[in-house]
Amino acid sequence: MNLKDFYAKLSVFVMVVFFMLCCQHQDKPIPPKTDPVFDIHSFAREAIIHHAELDLEVDFITRRIIGVVTYQIEPRGQENIFFDTQGPDVTQVKVDGKQSQFTFGLEDKILGKALIVPIKSTSKSVEISYTTQADAAALQWLTPQQTAGKKHPFLFSQGQAILTRTWIPIQDSPGIRFRYKARVKVPKELMAVMSATNVESKSIDGIYHFEMPQPVPAYLIAIAVGDLQFEQLGPRSGVYAEPSMLAKAVYEFSDTEKMINTAESLYGPYAWDRYDLLVLPPSFPFGGMENPRLTFVTPTVIAGDRSLVSLIAHELAHSWSGNYVTNADWNDFWINEGFTTYFERRIMESLYGKEYTDMLAVLAKKDWVAANRDIGSTNKDTHLHLDLKGRNPDDGMNSIAYEKGAFMLQMLEDTVGRDTFDLFLNKYFSQHAFQSMNSAKLLDYMNHHLPIDSLRIDLKEWIYNPGIPANAENPVSNRFEQVDTAYQKMFKSGKWAIDGVKKWSSHEWVRFISQIQDTAKPEQLKAIDKAYHLTVSGNSEILNIWFEKAIRTGYSKEIMAEIEAFLIQIGRRKYLVPIYRALRGKGQIETARRIYLQAKPNYHSIAVNTIDQLLKE
């Protein structure tokens, strides 16, 4: 080949490469959505997916997942199909097995960018090859040091609300459901589990096969990989955990099977065959996540005395409210969480009695009142139906959805009677199985199926107005009345060792600590600590509120080492926020920043985003 030929070939080659790069990365605006119900947090519209097949390789060295995802699609007459992506490098797209062009929409800081693939009305499948980024927001890659066993690395994903798009190019909207299958390859010494059918022991070759036969939205796809072992809890329940955590987990969660049976007797058949739990390392940013068939839980619920298992009741309840009937978009997050919180308390009441559940309800009401005050009782973020346009859903989804939602349902129960309300809920779940729900549709359904008019209940006020409606229940707890009496006695007399206190559950302790005024003297907290050793409690709920109070009252100077250890060890956002906020509020932002610097590598991106905000200049 002479030089001229060579240059001619080279220039063709350069042009081809240039064309390929161009057509992959050309940014263009996306046509407006025309769906009657659309989700402002997804680029998906009209043409939808209804089956996904994932082929994944998990690489701990580069901290990437190399994947191919094949979707069965329904074109609905559209020229393009739109997927949500935020991060994954898309290397190839095929439509019906043939290589296809693809483009990306304009990048949005919150939503990522649409992957746009041209299709025909007869197209059946779209195959996308991709590699995730090492910093994919859904994924947390842990070093062996960050696990219980200290020997093997660990990976987990957290999809809710809009993070699945950071590890799978997908239609990431809670209103779009599909079934999925997966083949996952991991290092041989590790086990992979997903929110799908799971095996009970490690495979020989590190290859795992999964199937989710019920249709789910993208935020409920989840994966975890680590040194895991399984143990049965009941005929359809079990726990996965690192070997050193397994026995403790089995003890703690021994009532799981009973919870499933109780939930079924309340609101109808469990739709997902099995209900297993996965105990994560302490960096898990939530208490629990209702991944179908496999709830992900923080190890901080393992208190040793089963005192925090309402969290399991909560995640289990999502199998109905959330996973079975799902909020259509994140503005109606309360339809997932409010129903679930109400349902959680009903499970707890059935299993552990009213006296026990009254304690949970009183604590919840106090939290609701505090959140309402903190956010501002006229702030739109205290509505049940949110307006998250232009915002990251994670920023607007606060505890109002849980408590205002649950208390609205409690108010309805009190007004129409429990039997009527339970019948209503049974029907509600079965009639909307595997469908999505929004506030308007729910309001309409309630108006048709409950005697709301004649009872003059203003549900619109609950859903679309701020603050705490006047007809919200004020729960009372006998046991807390005794705690309050003891509290008065102690603070009046200065004598801290009192009869009966030794028998308190963690909920009574949380109540007691929550009553302590910020103006209490550090010496008083010190005396309480001396009598009851709260600083070294093994119960994370007690530790959390105790550390917050210690900071607010100035006692923290003496126990800073323990507070620091807690913040470094635990990545559960609900615990981090009050402690960092208290430090900030007491003029100790420098201390907070110093601790955070050390703790940050242990936090999931969800917690990092929140704490970054909280401690920024």
Which residues are near Zn ion by CB under 5 A?
A: 337, 340
Minimum CB separation of residue 318 from Zn ion in Å reads 6
286 binds, among ligand BES, Zn ion, none (CB under 5 to 8 A by kind): ligand BES
**Residue 315 annotated among the catalytic residues of the structure:** yes
| CB of 256 closer than 8 Å to CB of 234 | yes
185 binds, among Zn ion, ligand BES, none (CB under 5 to 8 A by kind): none
| Residue number, 318 or 552, with CB nearest to ligand BES | 318
Sheet hosting strand 27-28, strand order edge to edge: 27-28, 103-105, 113-118, 80-85
Chain residues in the site for ligand BES (CB under 6 A): 160-161, 286-290, 311, 314-315, 318, 337, 397, 402, 574
> CA quadruple 247, 251, 253, 255: dihedral positive or negative?
positive
Catalytic entry in 71, 130, 324, 402:
402
Minimum CB separation of residue 310 from ligand BES in Å reads 6
Structure tokens at 49: 């997916």
What dihedral angle (degrees, nearest 10) is formed by the CA atoms of 528, 530, 535, 538?
-100
| Residue number, 179 or 574, with CB nearest to ligand BES | 574
Integer Cα distance of 369 and 376 in angstroms: 10
Minimum CB separation of residue 184 from Zn ion in Å reads 26
Phi, psi of 281 (to 5 degrees): -65, 165
* Residue given tokens 């220039």 in the structure block: 11
Minimum CB separation of residue 289 from Zn ion in Å reads 8
- Name the amino acid, one letter, at 301: V
Structure tokens at 565: 């250890």
311 binds, among ligand BES, Zn ion, none (CB under 5 to 8 A by kind): ligand BES
Integer Cα distance of 419 and 615 in angstroms: 49
| Residue number, 371 or 560, with CB nearest to Zn ion | 371
Q: Which residues contact 594 (CB under 8 A, 6 or more apart)?
A: none
Distances (CA, A) of 606 to 261, 294, 573, 600, 601: 33, 21, 8, 11, 12
Minimum CB separation of residue 401 from ligand BES in Å reads 9
Integer Cα distance of 497 and 520 in angstroms: 18
Integer Cα distance of 419 and 412 in angstroms: 11
Minimum CB separation of residue 163 from Zn ion in Å reads 16
| Residue number, 83 or 286, with CB nearest to ligand BES | 286
288 binds, among Zn ion, ligand BES, none (CB under 5 to 8 A by kind): ligand BES
**Residue 402 annotated among the catalytic residues of the structure:** yes
| Residue number, 132 or 340, with CB nearest to Zn ion | 340
| Residue number, 255 or 337, with CB nearest to Zn ion | 337
Which run of H or of E encompasses 241? strand 237-241
574 binds, among Zn ion, ligand BES, none (CB under 5 to 8 A by kind): ligand BES
Catalytic entry in 242, 252, 315, 548:
315
Sheet hosting strand 288-289, strand order edge to edge: 229-234, 237-241, 275-279, 294-297, 288-289
Minimum CB separation of residue 266 from Zn ion in Å reads 17
| Residue number, 337 or 381, with CB nearest to ligand BES | 337
| CB of 333 closer than 8 Å to CB of 393 | yes
| CB of 163 closer than 8 Å to CB of 204 | no
Mind spelling out the 3-state secondary structure of 107-131?
CECCCEEEEEEECCCCCCEEEEEEE
| CB of 429 closer than 8 Å to CB of 268 | yes
Integer Cα distance of 261 and 351 in angstroms: 10
Minimum CB separation of residue 261 from ligand BES in Å reads 20
Integer Cα distance of 440 and 462 in angstroms: 13
| Residue number, 400 or 599, with CB nearest to Zn ion | 400
611 binds, among ligand BES, Zn ion, none (CB under 5 to 8 A by kind): none
Q: Of 507, 475, 501, which Cα lies nearest the Cα of 486?
A: 501
3-state secondary structure of 301: helix
Does residue 114 have a cis peptide bond before it, meaning omega lies within 30 degrees of 0? no
Mind spelling out the 3-state secondary structure of 391-432?
CCHHHHCCCHHHHHHHHHHHHHHHHHCHHHHHHHHHHHHHHC
| Residue number, 88 or 287, with CB nearest to ligand BES | 287
Minimum CB separation of residue 106 from ligand BES in Å reads 26
161 binds, among ligand BES, Zn ion, none (CB under 5 to 8 A by kind): ligand BES
| Residue number, 208 or 575, with CB nearest to ligand BES | 575
Minimum CB separation of residue 565 from ligand BES in Å reads 21
- Catalytically active residues, by annotation: 315, 402
